Every structure is written in structure tokens, then in C-alpha cells.
């Protein structure tokens, strides 16, 4: 795990809030020269701390007005079933996120659909028809807020290292 100092954390926080900042704007925000800032950002990318830059799209604008969380319980808890269904769930175009969990739910899948008919067809064709799936439970998402990672509190004690 890379050692992150106060400046690295400031860079990560700023980019997490606005990944479209120019290097010059980012450098000014964190109190570095642009060349030093760019060197740090490139190192954070090379170390895998920054995994990607992506646009946060509005589902409604794309005609995807219904979101749901689908809890999946497997019939059998064997490695092959986890791999097969995990690959399948990640391949669905409606899938936004897939979480593999411990507990009574094996997978939690965030999906987007046009409407309830689309969601019904998706659950029947892509979930309940799978031999690995024992049970599903679907919950509609009325709203959600995407939050960033707690960059300043990543060491568990709430106090960033010096």
C-alpha cells in the first residue's frame, strides 16, 4: 500500500470532487507548483491509487428512469457458482454495480431499467432463470447519493499520518 502524505490526500480529495480540474487548478488548490503536482498525480495513477476518471451520467436523461437493487442468494455455495454468476451479472448492460457479500445475500446488484416491465423481464431472463440462483429480492431505488471515499480518514483512527 503506497504511503500517502497530506498533499497526496489533498490531491485525491480535489480530484474525487472534480476530476476535470486542470493540473494548474489542482496545483493551486493543493499549494504545489504545477510540475510537482503533475508528478504526484502520475505517481498516484502508476501506484493504482487513482484507478480511473469517469463521467457520472444521469440515468433519467438516458431513458433509464427506474433503478433497483437485486439481492441474489445462490442455491449452492461453491466457487464455480460464484464465478459463473458474478461474470454473468457484470456482463448485463443494465448492471451499474455488483457486490459479492458475506451473509444471507451472496450478491447485491444495482441495475438501471427503462420501466417496471423492463425490470420484470430482466429479473426473469437474467436472474431467476439462472441455475445458480436460488432466490432474489428486488428493492426499488427512489433516490441515491454517490459519495466519495473518506480520503482523510483512511487509516482507521480518524487521524491522517504525518
Q: CATH number, domain at 15?
A: 1.10.10.10
Is residue 37 domain-shared with residue 91, that is, in the same domain? Answer: no
Q: Kindly state whether residue 148 falls inside one of the protein's structural domains.
A: no
Contacts of 110 (CB under 8 A, 6+ apart): 67, 68, 69, 95, 96, 97, 98, 141
Q: Kindly state whether residue 155 falls inside one of the protein's structural domains.
A: no
Does 78 score more than 70 pLDDT?
Answer: yes
Total tally of structural domains belonging to the chain: 2
User: Mean pLDDT over residues 42-63, rounded?
Assistant: 94
Does 162 score more than 70 pLDDT?
Answer: no
CATH of the domain at 79: 3.30.70.920
User: Mean pLDDT over residues 111-128, rounded?
Assistant: 98
Give the residue numbers spanning the domain of 81: 60-141
According to the model, what pLDDT value does residue 88 have?
96
The overall average pLDDT reported for the chain is 92
Q: Kindly state whether residue 82 falls inside one of the protein's structural domains.
A: yes
Q: pTM score > 0.75 for this model?
A: yes
Amino acid at each position: 500500500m503506497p504511503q500517502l502524505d497530506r498533499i497526496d490526500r489533498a490531491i485525491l480529495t480535489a480530484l474525487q470532487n472534480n476530476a476535470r480540474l486542470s493540473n494548474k487548478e489542482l496545483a493551486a488548490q493543493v499549494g504545489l507548483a504545477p510540475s510537482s503536482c503533475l508528478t504526484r498525480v502520475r505517481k498516484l495513477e502508476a501506484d493504482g491509487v487513482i484507478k480511473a476518471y469517469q463521467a457520472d451520467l444521469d440515468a433519467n436523461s438516458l431513458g433509464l428512469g427506474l433503478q433497483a437493487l437485486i439481492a441474489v442468494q445462490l442455491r449452492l455455495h461453491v466457487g464455480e457458482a460464484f464465478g459463473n454468476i458474478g461474470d454473468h451479472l457484470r456482463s448485463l448492460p443494465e448492471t451499474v454495480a455488483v457486490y459479492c457479500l458475506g451473509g444471507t445475500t451472496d450478491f447485491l446488484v444495482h441495475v438501471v431499467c427503462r420501466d417496471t416491465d423492463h425490470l420484470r423481464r430482466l429479473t426473469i431472463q437474467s436472474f431467476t432463470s439462472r441455475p445458480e440462483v436460488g432466490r432474489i429480492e428486488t428493492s426499488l431505488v427512489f433516490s441515491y447519493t454517490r459519495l466519495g471515499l473518506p480520503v482523510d480518514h483512511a487509516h482507521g483512527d480518524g487521524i491522517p499520518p504525518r
